[in-house]
Structure 1
Amino acid sequence: MSALLWGLLASSSLIVGALIVMARPLPQRLVALVMAFGAGVLISAVAYDLVEDAFDESNGWVLLTGLTAGALTFYVGDLLIDRLGGADRKRSTGVQAGGAGAAIAFGTVLDGIPESVVLGTTLVAGSGVSVAMLAAVFLSNLPEAMSATAGLLKSGTSRRTILLLWIGTTAVAGVASWAGWYFVGDAGGGTVALVQAFAAGALLTMLTDTMVPEAYDFGGPSTGLVTVLGFSVAFGLSTLA
């Protein structure tokens, strides 16, 4: 139950981000810079809460295997979703009007599963959820939802449909967090490390495919600075945890 609730809490920022945009549409550049911040947060989480931990718990071969498998799995899944019409699911420009609603929904769920599964695995040791990972998931989901919601609104998607999309995604993320705890709970350190490396590979692929291009296209020269700021904030949380 704890894993489920933590997963729901971390992903609840998807709904928060959507509500913010619905209440008051934000400038496209601001949304892009918030997304750059979220990308920096996730990069830090991948580096220090996934890759480093996976390496400490196993060895380089397990790490490389997991990274490769995670990257290829996300790449193939994302490629299929792109061909079905979900390629622009996180764009803030409204180009979602040319895509398929189901593909956009599946793509959004695909993006959130790896981080939620890892969040659940942090409870395996019995020492409580990783504060750094929880913060990383929450802070990175916020700009994702803001950007995608802005684009969906411009494409003519109803507010009810958008809210249902994020509520459904949040629910799936909660279940994914529970699954991460349940299926890895009795496994050894090597299995946990493999799961962490797999998620790291998937998240890095997702970042460069969906979040970073959107942030760079509309954030301007400040994008790099804001990304580093997000990285630094997440790193600070990791050192305090």
Structure 2
Amino acid sequence: MIESLLWGVVGAAPLVLGAVLAGLRRWPDRLIGIVLGFGAGALVASIAFELWEEGLQQGGPLPLVLGVVLGAAVYFVADRLVERRAAKAGGAAAAGVPLALGALLDGVPEQLVLGFGLADGQGVSIALVVAIFVSNLPESVGSSADLLDGGVKKPAVLGIWSAVAVVCALSTVLGWALADVATVGVRTGLNGFAAGALLVMLVDSMVPEAQRRAKDVAGVATVFGFALAAGLATVPF
């Protein structure tokens, strides 16, 4: 259990680090956009090579597709609820929340799967750790920057991302504890759930925000992020 908790903390730490970095100073819009674009590319690679490909090999298309649909639906509904509350509060309080919501809905099933693997005796590769860092950090930096721009105080931003990180880290321990009862279908469905939530978040929030901030270089940054994360996913360590 201690090992699963340690790896859970390692996987969730970039979320808090991103909030800290965003709060240190006001970063240029163009730089934040590049970071978001890079993170979006990394997440696309994560969906393709880690969540979808591994899920397909593990449990086949049916539980994977069902998970994708459920993850997309849950994110869509939760994001609409956030938007309604934001409209009542004037909008500022919800700046950056879609990225945090996406990180939560992605991080929980992803780290549950990590816990399953640890319980089964599978090692954690350096490539996986770096890939988690590359994808999680830009989400947190971008969301935190938006929250701060929307008038949310630094302690509150740090609190939001600390809460997300704690839930994600504990999910690894939960996955370790439930490994014996989690069927292949459930594990595959969790991969799909994370992929579905991420895809909607990318199209609705992360990519448009990267384009708004970085403009003409957002696409190039996305390609670089994809190339790095895809390379890490396919090179054994």
TM exceeding 0.5:
yes
Residue equivalent to 2:44: 43
**TM-score (norm: length of structure 1):** 0.83
- The amino acid across from 1:222 in the alignment is V
In the alignment, structure 1 residue 14 sits paired with structure 2 residue 26: no
Matches within 5 A, 1:31-180: 31-85=32-86, 97-99=92-94, 109-110=104-105, 112-180=107-175
Partner Cα distance (1:178, 1:63) in 2: 23
Matches within 5 A, 1:213-228: 213-228=208-223
Contact 1:81–1:106 under 8 Å retained in 2? no
Aligned length: 233
Unaligned runs of 5+ in 1: 87-94
Contact 1:11–1:173 under 8 Å retained in 2? yes
Unaligned runs of 5+ in 2: none
Identify the match of residue 193 of structure 1 among 177, 185, 188: 188
**TM-score (norm: length of structure 2):** 0.84
Segment of structure 1 superposing worse, 182-191 or 106-115: 106-115
Contact 1:117–1:177 under 8 Å retained in 2? yes
- 1:29 shift after superposition: 1.0
- 1:80 shift after superposition: 2.0
Partner Cα distance (1:170, 1:222) in 2: 30
Residue equivalent to 1:206: 201
What is the RMSD of the two structures over their aligned residues, measured on CA atoms? Answer: 2.8
Partner of 1:123, secondary structure, is helix
Percent identical: 38
Contact 1:85–1:99 under 8 Å retained in 2? yes
Partner Cα distance (2:97, 2:230) in 1: 36
